[in-house]
Amino acid sequence: MSTQPTPQRRSFFRSLNSRLAGLTAVALGTAAATQAKKTKPAPPWEPARHEKDDWLEKPQAKHRLVFDTTSGKGFGEGLAFAGNYIRVNGVDYGLQDSDLSVLIVARHHATAFAYNDAMWAKYGEPLAAQAVFEDPKTKQAPVLNVYNATGYGGLLPSRGSTIDSVTKRGLQFAVCATATRAFAGAIARKVGGNADTINSELIANLVTNARMVPAGIVAVSRAQERSYTVVTA
């Protein structure tokens, strides 16, 4: 008896094998697609934008820089570096002041130097104590904002750059409201005044081109999220 498959059987097996191959291909394709979906990279993270921070935008600026200052020395260094940054961009790159967006954040102990001469004349002792700072000329508490005064030269880390000299060229200050509240409390304890009243007084007597922000550290973070280069002074 012959064991050779009949033509009908051969045709049946060819058809079956073809169907099995098709099903296998479909299964493999589905598995590959599922795996690809699982391994697809997540979209890049982007920070949320808040209207409260829109003042940081300066669309025409070609470069953005923020100095994070937390001490009296750091505030002075921030002024020196900012002045140098603005000058070099003009002299060596041919840029205008309007091409730059430069910001100094005054927080922690540096916050005291974002208040004008009137506040230092009135509250110099408690401000200096809270800021851990003394006038390098008198070795006493300053009676004016030394970083907006001339005649100090190398006695200050600002190296002759003053608040007025950099704000005239477009620099802005962001002043920590949280630290201001702490300064107001320290002043109130020293002079026996009302902390809320003194807090309002400090806010009303900021240096030129300064604005209050909820917290200095948040302003630094928001600036970085809006493409500012961060420098710690």
Residue 197 burial (CB count, 10 A): 11
Query: Domain residues of the chain, as ranges?
Result: 60-232
> Going residue by residue through the chain (233 aa), what tens digit of pLDDT does each one get?
455 556 555 565 566 456 655 555 555 566 566 665 666 788 899 999 999 999 999 999 999 999 999 999 999 999 999 999 999 999 999 999 999 999 999 999 999 999 999 999 999 999 999 999 999 999 999 999 999 999 999 999 999 999 999 999 999 999 999 999 999 999 999 999 999 999 999 999 999 999 999 999 999 999 999 999 999 99
Which of 87, 81, 88, 120 is closest to 103 using CA atoms?
Answer: 81
Give the closest residue to 105 by CA, choosing from 185, 212, 225. 212
pLDDT number for residue 172: 98
Instruction: Scan for tokens 């064991």, then name that residue.
Output: 3
Q: Hey, which CATH number is domain 60-232, 3.40.50.720, 3.30.1330.20, 3.40.1260.10, 3.40.50.300?
A: 3.40.1260.10
